[in-house]
Each structure stands twice: as C-alpha cells, then as structure tokens.
Amino acid sequence: MLEDSPPPPPYRPNRRAVLGGLLGAAGALALSGCGSLGGKPRVREWNLFGGGDGARLLEIHKQYVAEHPNVQFEAHTLAWGPPFYTKLAMSAAGGRAPEVATLHLSRLKGFSPTTLLDPIPVDLLNEAGINESDFLPASWNRAMVDGKLYAVPLDTHPFVLYYNTDICKKAGLLGPDGKIKPVKGVDAFVDMLKAAKDVTGKYGASIETTNPWRMWWTLYGQLEGKFFNEDGTQLILDDAKALEALDLMAKLAADGLVPRSANYPALVAQFSSGDVGLSFNGEWEVTTYQTAKMPFSMAPFPVVYDVPKYAGDAHTFVLPHQANRSKDDTKATIEYIAWMLKHSAEWAAGGHIPAYQPVVTSQEYLDLKPQAEYRSVAPDVFFDPDAWFSGSGAQLQNEAGAAFSGVFSGQSTPKAALAQFKAATQTLLDTPSPV
C-alpha cells in the first residue's frame, strides 16, 4: 500500500486551526455534560424496582417532584440484583455515589456499610418527623451496624401466591367468598396446580425457574430447616429437608405443572397471558396485573409443609458513601426518605408491606385490596442466611439459581443440584470475607 502514496499536497496551514476547533468543540460539549443547577439541593435516587413496583414508584416520584420544586430530583432504576449492587458498590468506591439508594436489608452487612455507606443522621430523621418508635423493633435493629443506623426500613416483601380468578373459578379452586380456598399439605398443593393446569391447558403456575431461590427457601423454611450454625461459620444444612423441597420442585416441572424453564419476564408474561392460573412470586407485580386489567387476586403462599414461612426480604433506604457529602443535599435526602415513608400507603398499593407503622395501622392501608389478603404473613417472613455473600441478588442466591434451575429443566437431579449448591456454599464460607 505504500508504493502508491499520493503526490505531495499543497500547503494547508489551516489544518491546525481546524483540528483545534474540533477539539474545542468536543471540550465544550464535555463541559456541558456535568453542569448542575445552581443552589438547589440535589437528590439522586437509585433503585432496583424493575417490576410493577417500579411503575408505582414512578407515580409516587411524580408527586414528590410536584411537591418539591426546590429539590433537584432524579431517580433511576438499575437492573435488579448483581448489576444493581455492583454498580452501587462501585459508585460508592468511586466517591460519586447518588445521594440515596434502595438496599435489601439482607444485604446490609455484606455491603460493607462502614466504608461504602454513610450513617443515617438520626437527628435529621427525627427533625423530618420519623422516629425509632415508628418501626417494629426487629426491623429497626436489623438496620443498625456497630451501633449506628445505616438504613431506614421501607417495607417487607414476602413470597406470595397470585391467582387468576377466572381460571381458578373454572378449576373449582375458589371458595364461596370468591377467594382461593387455602390449601395445606403437599398433596393439596399439587392438586391445586393440577386443577389450574386442566383449565389453562398449559401449566398450573408460573415460577422463575432460572432463579428459584425464593421457592426453595420458602419450602425449606416451612420444613424448619436450618442453614448456618449460631456464629455463621458452619453450614448445617439438613440434607433430607433440602432434598424434600427440591424433589417437590422437580416433580412440579416433570408433571408439567410449572414450566421447565422460565426467566422473570416469562413468569410475568405467562400469568398475564393466561397460560397459567397461578403464579409464585414476590408481591410486587400488583401494578403490572392491575394495569393489564387482569382478573386476579393474591393470597399467602400455601403452607405446603409444617410451619408457615415465606421467603422474603425488606427494602431500605441507604446513603451510599460520597467523598464530599453536601449538608444541604443530605438534609433534602433525609426529607425525601421521610416523605416516602409517610406516603408508603401508595407504595403499599404496589404490593409491598410498609415498615412505617403509622401507615400500617391506617385505614387507607387496611382497605387496600388485594394487599389485605396477604399482609398478615409479615411476621413469618423468612430472611436469607446471614453472611457477607448472602441476601437478595447476592452470590449465595446466584449459586442456588445455578444449581437448582437444573432441577426444573431436568438437566440435574435434586441430589446432584444439592451437592453442587453445598459445595459452592462451602467455598464461599472458606473465602476470606472482603468486608
């Protein structure tokens, strides 16, 4: 290619000017990228509400913005789970984190609160009208690390049962009051799915087979299974109980009562399109199905085994670590959190059970349907094991998803899946904690 170099061009001294201009233009654009509005306090909120609760939050935020013209507010929903938590941790490590973010209570200790979060200024919280007495002691205490408050509880979210009222009526699953008849025990549970499947012709229930942690943890919890020993250093999983839960999951898939493979969007789509009559999921898709004008209601997840336990977690607000936290921004942020808590009846309309007790006891909340059908289970919510690698969207759940999804798809036996999960958990236990 070198042989045919072009002839020497005439002098073009304006090259440099052109180039300079280009760089200048790019520089100007770059500068305009980080402008911020004058003296207004800024509140940037990151959340992970990718379901119907996210749509609800959008509406609540609209109201917040309308009522707070003096706050520069910006909210973003990041992809749920590891992507969200990884981005949040990296932003806190980078020092330019948002003013406030949501965080699962189960993730608090493993997130390294002392370095990646800033403590909540309780005095500001009190000034904004929120006090310790507004929460159940259990949830407030879980938000404390080393004697400091690092999170403000927003809600609790159990694993529940959604049912399509039309389909369930045809299947004879509804009682005279139009509500689903409570079932108890494995056989009744399987029969319920069979009845629904007979009506839909496809499946009985939809479930997220690619991340079946909540299903398994619910069943294992109902069997009163234990996970770690007291000080969290040893895995004391009860193989027989763990297997019993996995066997049931395998059976559901093998009998075609649930899909062999479905990711989260598929779980939602299958329930809304009527391919299934039931859906096992967290209670946060209320808004989605209401928007789709579906005939549906909700109930506690059946007590398949011995005791009522429902996998779940709680959302909280935290202040990710900022290198230079501004006093004004922090004040506005705490006021935002307080405002959100006081408006958590609207949040509850999206499915979650509020943590802020004045709302929980309010008539507005008590009248909410179908929320009234399942809120009684709040005390029986079964939190994830306590470890730095555990919690919603954390490594332990991922390992369970990797191992247990094969039980649904048939690519793995319950025994093999359990062995894989136990080995992975042991490896995590043996890994020195990075927090």
Partner 1 sequence: MTVQTPPRVTPGTPATAAKPETGKPWKERWAGLFFVAPFLLLFAVFLAWPTVYGLWNSFFNTSLAGVKQEFLGLQNWREMFNDPAVWSSLKNTLVFTAMSTPPLVIIALVMALLANRRGVLGWLLRFSYFAPFVLPATVVTLIWVWIYQPGFGLVNGLLTAGGFAEIDWLNTDNRAMLAVVITTVWWTVGFNFLLYLAALQGIPAQVYEAADIDGANGRQKLFRITLPLLSRTTGLIVVLQLVASLKIFDQIYLMTNGGPNYATRPIIQYIYQNGFTNYRIGYASAISYMFFAIIVIVAVLQFKLFAGRKEADA
Partner 2 sequence: MRTTWTFPKVASIVGAVILAVIWLVPLLWALDTSLKPEPETTLSPITWLPQAPTTEAYRSVVEQGDLIRWFMNSSVVSILVTALTLVVSVLAAYGFSRTSFPGRRVLFGLIIAGILVPPQVLIVPLFQEMTGLGLVDTYWGIVLPQVVAPVMVFVLKKFFDGISRDYEDAARVDGATRWRIVWSVMVPMSRPILVAVGIFTFIGAWNNFLWPFIVTTDPSMMTIPVGLANVQGSYGLRYAQIMASAVLGGLPLLIVYALFQRHVVRGVGDAGIKG
Cα separation, 86 vs 330, whole angstroms: 23
Among 16, 70, 231, 432, binds partner 2 (CB under 8 A): 16
First-residue to last-residue Cα distance in the chain: 57
Measured CA to CA, the distance from residue 56 to residue 15 in angstroms comes to 55
CA distances from 185 to 32, 269, 307, 308 (A): 63, 28, 10, 11
Alpha helix positions (H), 211-309: 213-222, 239-254, 264-272, 286-291
Q: Does 435 bind partner 2 (CB under 8 A)?
A: no
90 binds partner 1 (CB under 8 A): yes
Closer CB to partner 1, 261 or 362, in the complex: 261
- Measured from the CB atom, the residue of 157 and 241 that comes closer to partner 2 is 157
Alpha carbons 214 and 281: distance in angstroms, whole number: 8
What is the secondary structure of 80-135 as a DSSP string? TTHHHHHHHHHHHHHTB--SEEEEEGGGTGGG-HHHHEEPP-HHHHHHTT--GGGS
Residues in 376-405 at the binding interface with partner 1, rule: CB under 8 A: 389, 395, 401-403, 405
Q: Which is nearer to partner 1, 402 or 429 (CB)?
A: 402
Q: Is 429 in the site for partner 1 (CB under 8 A)?
A: no
Query: Least distance in Å: CB of 211 to partner 1?
Result: 10
Residue 435 near partner 1 by CB under 8 A: yes
CA distance 345 to 203: 34
Question: Of 279, 158, 304, which is closest to residue 224 (Cα–Cα)?
Answer: 304
> Between 251 and 270, how does the x/- string for binding to partner 1 read (CB under 8 A)?
--------xxxxx--x--xx
According to CB under 8 A, which one of 145, 292, 416, 429 is a site residue for partner 2? 292
CA 222 to CA 314: how far, in whole Å?
Answer: 19
Residues that bind partner 2 (CB under 8 A): 1-2, 5-6, 8-9, 11-13, 15-16, 19, 22-23, 26, 29-30, 33-34, 44, 46, 49-55, 58, 74, 76-79, 83, 87-88, 90-91, 93-98, 265, 268-269, 272-273, 275, 285, 287-288, 291-292, 323
Residues that bind partner 1 (CB under 8 A): 2-3, 5, 82, 85-86, 89-90, 93, 112, 114-116, 209-210, 259-263, 266, 269-270, 275, 389, 395, 401-403, 405-406, 409, 411-412, 420, 431-432, 434-435
